[in-house]
Structure 1
Amino acid sequence: MQDSAKGQLSEAELQDLVASSDSGARTPAGPIGLFMALVAVAWSVFQVVLASPVSNYILPGSLINNSRQVHLAFAMFLAFLAYPALKSSPRDRIPYQDWAFAVIGAFLAMYGYFFYNKIVASGGLADNTDKWFALAGLVLLFEAARRTLGPAMAIIASIFLLYVFFGSSPVVPEVIRWKGASLQKAMSHMWITSEGVFGIALGVSTKFVFLFVLFGALLDKAGAGNYFIKMAFGALGHLRGGPAKAAVVGSAATGLISGSSIANVVTTGTFTIPLMKRVGFTREQAGAVEVASSVNGQIMPPVMGAAAFLMVEYVGVSYVEVIKAAFLPATISYIALVYIVHLEAVKRNMPTLGNRATSMAKTIGGMMAFFVGFAVLCYGVQFPVRWISSMVPEGAGWILALLVMLAYVALLYLASRGPDLMPDDPNAEQIELPVVAEIYKSGLYYLLPIIVLVYFLMIEQKSPGLSAFWAASLLFVMLLTQKPLKAIFRGESEIANEFVLGVVDLLQGMIDGARNMIGIGLATATAGVIVGTVTLTGVGQVMADLVEFLSGGNLIAMLVLVGILSLILGMGLPTTANYIVVSSLMAGVIVTLGAQSGLIVPLIAVHLFVFYFGIMADVTPPVGLASFAAAAVSGGDAIKTGFVAFFYSLRTIMLPFMFIFNTDLLLIDVGWAQGTLVFVVAAIGILVFTAGTMGYFLTRNTIIESVLLVAIAFCLFRPDFIMNRITPPYHMVPPAQMETAIGEATAGSEMRIVVSGPDFMSGTEKSTTLVLPVAGDGTGPERLDDLGLIVLAEDGLTKLDEPMFGTPYADVMSGFDFYGDDPVVVTEVKAPAAQLPKDLVFIPALLLLMGIVWLQRGRAARQEEALA
């Protein structure tokens, strides 16, 4: 029942809020509920077996080849059973029409499996019968997406589908008009082939995402969520603004468990938000802190949101590369959020909780020691593993499994020496802060599955699916054995009952994992329609021209437009779907326009840019779902909560613009020493930026100090911007001397050339920038030949012939028309120039920062004397 005085929701209402958005609000009792649970378990079992190393021996090849169809069939079947059609639809029973939709939807999802031979015989295309089944499948898919994700996803996908059919209509703007497609061709593309619904996105959901969602659900069921929150609260709760700092760190840890920002808000917020209000945060501020920290859980490696796995396929890099690129921005983003709540607490002179006194330096040192120790442990595991593998190559797997189990039993014995951790009551009159030294032993064994996951991902560099399989397998064992083993270690007699409880926990974790995947599975499938439209119609190129026109060719303006597009779409789309849509339309555009502007933007940087703005949509008013969830917990105003959370998240908006122009922040081609320097400087930079935007550093800032702090932060994040204006990194060379210049360049350096010529499709003039790595000791012509570039000096121009297929620049140059009347020519050549290290910019920036520190310390001391 809602508390009308405070506007807060009860625990049951909060759980219903999470369920209605994440796993479906309908949970009928009796045989029907049991049947739904069995279907969910069956889906989890299928996905676990599919990801296992023995899948080829257990599952028939036809089922493995059509696993995407099976994945979508489970998602559609459960969607119609678990999600009511309307708010007025019954929650305690399933209407007959929903049963019909569920069965028909699952059948249509499996259509390609059932009629595989027929489709192959027709060349993989739809015939007159197939097209009607495919159309019915799309209609039911859109209805399932509407129920689980809200109307926006279905509406946007429908608009794209209508564009496929009626793209030649006069009502369609001429700039995006196309010839249109027949029903048969469109349905073949969208439903029968792997270009549409059953494309890359659904494949990633099938292969990778399910196992990670299941891993999180099992880890939560094992009790890790409560352990992480208690550890964060014990470490930080005694500080000024401690509950807010604990919320930030706890949400970062809970991001390992929940890929849903809404579930993260409710899970940690029900405990932290009331405590934040007790120490002086307003309802909106308390909710906003929880929203900002929970939403960022999706960008925190090693377990990121589903979009991270899509990056692996779209960008063509390993998951390790995605984690490496995402690590620094995510880490400094959380550092900034902790600092934001610290500044809020200091500005308001908030009280502390409990009677424990520990210095901030000691607390930070202890936390850093833990994280460094954990990282060293994850990295160091490889050395004994390699030694065992070399000593016993045949039986190494069994020996390592035995050692993991021995470590688990030892840590579980350690945990059994103390009481199990119970959730605290945030509304209790007397708050007892957990003592980290006393409770840390209770959950050390929760770190084992995470270590296994990180080891297989980062050290062995196995596929994400296989890595998550081994980590989830360990959790299966833990859930089945942790309670009975604790009972044995404590000398209790209820061993059989404890084992039964463990079985129940395991089954419930598998059910939760499957139901949490319904929305993700349908989001990736429905987004496939949008991706299919782009590939079928070529609208992506038209969108590129449109965005280039609107931005006037200015890269920053275009990035702003892309960010706004992500925020607008994110008002109705989940993060994963938002990322698929915007990256499909815009990622290539940013790279192309960047090259035209002379900026080489790595594709991973562009995809992370889109991803960051996609998660911001959960915050942004008026439709930020996480903000509404936080307001339901805090009793505050949802819109105000969203605006405060948006303000707190300014650093999340700023970071993508920084790493687009300074890829060192993504640790691309950065060594350990340089990476360490980048991390330290970036951490200082984000703290300074936070102080500048919050109007408070050591004391309240003057306007000039705030402006200077933001300027210092810019210099720390973009030292190249300053240094390039002092000493340019390149000098211009006449195009006719390009061969000579590249011959004289030092091996290991880079040259840049600007190429102009007619576009292959439109015939209009366009240009792009190529980065030419200088390698070897050959002459200029030999180095160009190694790169596959054929240079012709004719008519006073430096012309380029079409690069041979398979050479480094064949794909980049494929958009030029090399056979038209106008030639493709080199218009600019930029040879590397001697430039001072850009890191020198840090020195004056840090000196200016020290000057502000000196001024503010003196002012703060005078203020204290005046108060005394």
Structure 2
Amino acid sequence: MPKEDIASLDDSLQLAQESEAGARTISGKGGFFVFWFAVAMSVFQLYTGFFGELPGSKQLSIHLFFAMVLCFLCWPRSKKSPHDRMSIPDIILAIVGGLTALYLFLNYDHVVMSQGAAPTYDIVIGGILILLVLEATRRSVSPMLPIITIIFLIYAYVGPYIPGELAHRGFTVHRIIDHIFMSGEGLWGVPLRVSATFVFLFVLFGAFLDKIGAGQYLIDLSFATMGKYRGGPAKAAVVASCAMGSISGSSIANTVTTGAMTIPLMKKVGFKPHVAGAVEVAASTNGQLMPPIMGAAAFIMAEIIGVSYFEIVKAAFIPAILSYTAIFSIVHLEAVKENIRGLTKEETPPLVKTILSGLHYVIPLVVLVWLLLVVMWTPTTAASWSILVAIAVAIGNNWYRANRLFPELVKTNGTHPYAAYDEYKANPEGFFPRQTSAEVLGSLETGARNMAGIAAACACCGIIIGVVTLTGLGLKMATLITEAAGGSLMLTLIFSVIACIILGMGLPTTATYIIMAAMTAPAIMTISADLGLGLPIVAVHLFVFYYGIVSDDTPPVGLCAYAAAGIAGSDPIKTGWKSFRLDLAAFTLPFMFILNTKLLMYNTNFMELMYIIPVSIIGMFCWSVFIQGHWVVKTFIWERLLFLGLAFMLVNPSHLEVAGVLINEHLANAGAVIMLVVIYFWQKNRKGKAKAQVA
């Protein structure tokens, strides 16, 4: 790889590191403390995952204690602050933030009994914690979320002075802090509760899979299966990001992990730099849609609407498949349009050998899916046992390498493919325990550092939810949106989309979803009830969840686009707009599953699904042709518009009314497929005539 590409990759990896685990790389005694403090956080979460959570909000208090300390120690105050050591002010803030977060745990009975009539010292401690949560979120997530939170807090105070429907009687600072800090509807509400239970363990599970080598195995497997085809590296990027997304639930982590390999190869076979980066961004962003791990927001959704996580996974499965079908098809058509080759035989990893080389890495993921979807264990218990299986896989893998594979390789040819060979050669007996302990402890540290920012963001969102419940803002917004939409479901959905995109440009997916779930989801449910549509609550919340995710790659803000552009050496804005275009399927799918809830496996059966899924996949291919304006040859404008109509007809199978005649959906779909076949031969004939003219 050229030096400039290596520098760009380093910059992107640094951006991902700063976003996920903190910008500081601390050495010496400070690094020693941060390492073991993070390990202690993960051990605490694992312990409660196996033996049960602490009662009430005690679990949340300890969880936030760990998160606050890590946020102030691992994320510097600004770019000018030291990045290789902890500053004295940050140490003080970490101590104060940790102690105020731990106050609930240490004085739990007092806090519970004082709710609604808290003494002044409780209010002072609560106010300090709220301010420090805002600062921790600013450092670890983005300044936008604290700014929005402050706006909500001001709204709670100045309610009587606001004109119109949003006015309320107003609350004193004492009452606001009492509600947010002392009750279970604010800081200690659903977002932080989910962060302290489900989300942490799934993030830790992803960290274990990455450390033991499962992530690299999935990338290698993607290249082995897709690399040789036209535009192979781009297709491998889509498959790898889909697989990585199913275990990590993080857009930017997917981007840099898979993009480090896929983007240079995409450029090598002929993709333009900004296109290579955009493919990776679109595929990685959609990783949060792919079960079984769908990011923190999916767990929060299950808790907010009161359904099992299995219901969320089941409903999201078909839309996730259709979304990746569209991205894969668009990538294929891009390669056809630009005549881009695949990898050569020498460049493509051998398929069978690649599959067999890492089958053991899939065991923890299979166990997780089995426990979640078959045994129907809770997400907390399933994730805990899956982590234990991952540790067992790491032990078995390292034992085999140390005692069987390594000596055999050394004996046969005197060489060794692993970076740890020198250590092994110096001390063969010590390799196995040291390598295993490094992977286990490294996973525990990475999981905790990755969760610190998520926990701070969830606490911040809890403050927003506290204001909403205190002021009744949710019902007021639902009324306003309903009145503005004039009782139209479509207008309400469009208003929700606009709000999601605007909020999502500066907020992480979790924060966007929580705010929209409190503000616009009730309006959609109200209009659905008024119109007698009976939309499932899962469909409504998945609707706003989807738009919270796709806003991640919407310019001008989008860390994924900046990270991918750094690797590709392209312009971040240009990369972002291209990824937005590639990701347009995710913009239309929510409307389709709102209008046809069978795509969420509601009110349907197995045989009907066996019909709906392939028909919908064909529909998403039509959508891809519409986006690219190319199939066998470049499409005419009328052909492109026809593909758009066919896409909506196939993905949303329903009865059509033409000239007053109701046409059965199966006949309509059969007609659409016949039309596709006709267009294919029509375009193939045009391509043949064009070749004859050139000859």
Quick check: TM above 0.5?
yes
1:532 is matched with which residue: 457, 466, 472? 466
Q: Please, which runs of 5 or more residues in structure 2 have no aligned partner?
A: 408-426
1:701 to 1:142, Cα distance in 2 relative to 1, 3 A:
same
**d(CA) in 2 for partners of 1:51, 1:700:** 55
Shift of 1:727: 7.0
**Stretch deviating more after TM superposition (476-485 or 224-233):** 476-485
**d(CA) in 1 for partners of 2:325, 2:483:** 38
2:388 is matched with which residue: 447, 452, 473? 473
Shift of 1:837: 5.1
1:667 is matched with which residue: 601, 615, 619? 601
Structure 2 match to 1:79: 71
Amino acid in the other structure paired with 1:490: L
Query: What are the Cα deviations for residues 675-713 of structure 1, in whole angstroms up to 9, with x where unaligned?
Result: 111111110110011112211122211111111111111
Shift of 1:861: 2.4
**d(CA) in 2 for partners of 1:555, 1:140:** 40
1:198 to 1:612, Cα distance in 2 relative to 1, 3 A:
same
**Stretch deviating more after TM superposition (129-138 or 551-560):** 551-560
Contact 2:219 2:240 survives alignment (8 Å): yes
**d(CA) in 2 for partners of 1:11, 1:851:** 46
Structure 2 match to 1:766: none
**d(CA) in 1 for partners of 2:349, 2:546:** 34
Structure 1 match to 2:12: 14
Structure 1 match to 2:48: 50
Structure 2 match to 1:839: 666
Structure 1 match to 2:676: 849
Give secondary structure in 2 for the equivalent of 1:269. helix
Query: What are the Cα deviations for residues 273-331 of structure 1, in whole angstroms up to 9, with x where unaligned?
Result: 11111111111100000000000010001111111111211222111111110000101
How well do the aligned residues superpose, as a CA RMSD in angstroms? Answer: 1.9
**d(CA) in 1 for partners of 2:208, 2:480:** 46
Contact 1:222 1:505 survives alignment (8 Å): yes
Largest Rg, 1 or 2 = 1
Query: What are the Cα deviations for residues 607-630 of structure 1, in whole angstroms up to 9, with x where unaligned?
Result: 111111111111000001111111
TM alignment of 1:712-791, pairs within 5 A:
712-720=646-654, 722=656
Structure 2 match to 1:130: 122
Contact 1:80 1:144 survives alignment (8 Å): yes
Contact 2:656 2:664 survives alignment (8 Å): no
- Verify: 1:343 aligned to 2:333, yes or no: yes
Larger relative CO (CA 8 A, sep 6+): 1 or 2?
Answer: 2
**d(CA) in 2 for partners of 1:348, 1:311:** 42
TM alignment of 1:320-399, pairs within 5 A:
320-354=310-344, 356=345
1:254 is matched with which residue: 236, 244, 258? 244
- Verify: 1:158 aligned to 2:158, yes or no: no
**d(CA) in 2 for partners of 1:479, 1:491:** 16
Structure 2 match to 1:95: 87
Amino acid in the other structure paired with 1:263: A
2:639 is matched with which residue: 700, 705, 716? 705
Structure 2 match to 1:823: none
Shift of 1:24: 0.3
Q: Please, which runs of 5 or more residues in structure 1 have no aligned partner?
A: 357-430, 729-835
Structure 1 match to 2:32: 34
Amino acid in the other structure paired with 1:84: P
**d(CA) in 2 for partners of 1:319, 1:340:** 31
- Verify: 1:859 aligned to 2:686, yes or no: yes
Give secondary structure in 1 for the equivalent of 2:602. coil
**Stretch deviating more after TM superposition (80-89 or 344-353):** 344-353
Contact 1:218 1:475 survives alignment (8 Å): yes
Shift of 1:11: 4.0
TM alignment of 1:394-433, pairs within 5 A:
432-433=347-348
Shift of 1:578: 0.8
1:464 is matched with which residue: 374, 379, 398? 379
Give secondary structure in 2 for the equivalent of 1:591. helix
**d(CA) in 1 for partners of 2:652, 2:257:** 38
1:632 is matched with which residue: 566, 570, 573? 566
**Stretch deviating more after TM superposition (195-204 or 490-499):** 490-499
**d(CA) in 2 for partners of 1:150, 1:120:** 32
Q: Which has the higher helix share?
A: 2
Moved over 4 A (4+): 723-728
TM alignment of 1:295-334, pairs within 5 A:
295-334=285-324
**d(CA) in 1 for partners of 2:466, 2:659:** 44
**d(CA) in 2 for partners of 1:542, 1:553:** 15
Amino acid in the other structure paired with 2:173: L
- Verify: 1:446 aligned to 2:361, yes or no: yes
Query: What are the Cα deviations for residues 497-525 of structure 1, in whole angstroms up to 9, with x where unaligned?
Result: 22211101110111001000011111111
1:107 is matched with which residue: 99, 108, 131? 99
**d(CA) in 1 for partners of 2:349, 2:113:** 66
Shift of 1:866: 2.9
- Verify: 1:496 aligned to 2:488, yes or no: no
Name the % identity.
Answer: 42
Amino acid in the other structure paired with 1:441: L
1:282 is matched with which residue: 263, 269, 272? 272
1:602 to 1:724, Cα distance in 2 relative to 1, 3 A:
farther
Contact 1:273 1:286 survives alignment (8 Å): yes
Amino acid in the other structure paired with 1:265: T
Shift of 1:642: 0.6
Give secondary structure in 2 for the equivalent of 1:490. helix
Amino acid in the other structure paired with 2:129: G
**d(CA) in 1 for partners of 2:532, 2:203:** 41
1:724 to 1:155, Cα distance in 2 relative to 1, 3 A:
farther
Structure 2 match to 1:602: 536
Structure 2 match to 1:559: 493
Shift of 1:553: 2.8
Amino acid in the other structure paired with 2:81: S
Structure 2 match to 1:785: none
Give secondary structure in 1 for the equivalent of 2:160. coil
2:613 is matched with which residue: 670, 673, 679? 679
1:211 is matched with which residue: 201, 205, 212? 201
Amino acid in the other structure paired with 1:658: M
Number of positions where the alignment pairs a residue of Structure 1 with one of Structure 2 = 676
Contact 1:217 1:512 survives alignment (8 Å): yes
**d(CA) in 2 for partners of 1:854, 1:702:** 15
**d(CA) in 2 for partners of 1:433, 1:296:** 25
- Verify: 1:656 aligned to 2:590, yes or no: yes
Amino acid in the other structure paired with 1:611: F
- Verify: 1:25 aligned to 2:23, yes or no: yes
**d(CA) in 1 for partners of 2:113, 2:347:** 70
Query: What are the Cα deviations for residues 36-63 of structure 1, in whole angstroms up to 9, with x where unaligned?
Result: 00010000000001110x347xxxx55x
Amino acid in the other structure paired with 1:257: I
**d(CA) in 2 for partners of 1:567, 1:77:** 32
Give secondary structure in 1 for the equivalent of 2:85. coil
**d(CA) in 2 for partners of 1:454, 1:103:** 40
Normalising by structure 1, report the TM-score: 0.76
Shift of 1:255: 1.1
Shift of 1:596: 2.4
Shift of 1:719: 3.0
Normalising by structure 2, report the TM-score: 0.94
Shift of 1:726: 5.5
Query: What are the Cα deviations for residues 382-435 of structure 1, in whole angstroms up to 9, with x where unaligned?
Result: xxxxxxxxxxxxxxxxxxxxxxxxxxxxxxxxxxxxxxxxxxxxxxxxx62101
**Stretch deviating more after TM superposition (448-457 or 175-184):** 175-184
Give secondary structure in 1 for the equivalent of 2:209. helix
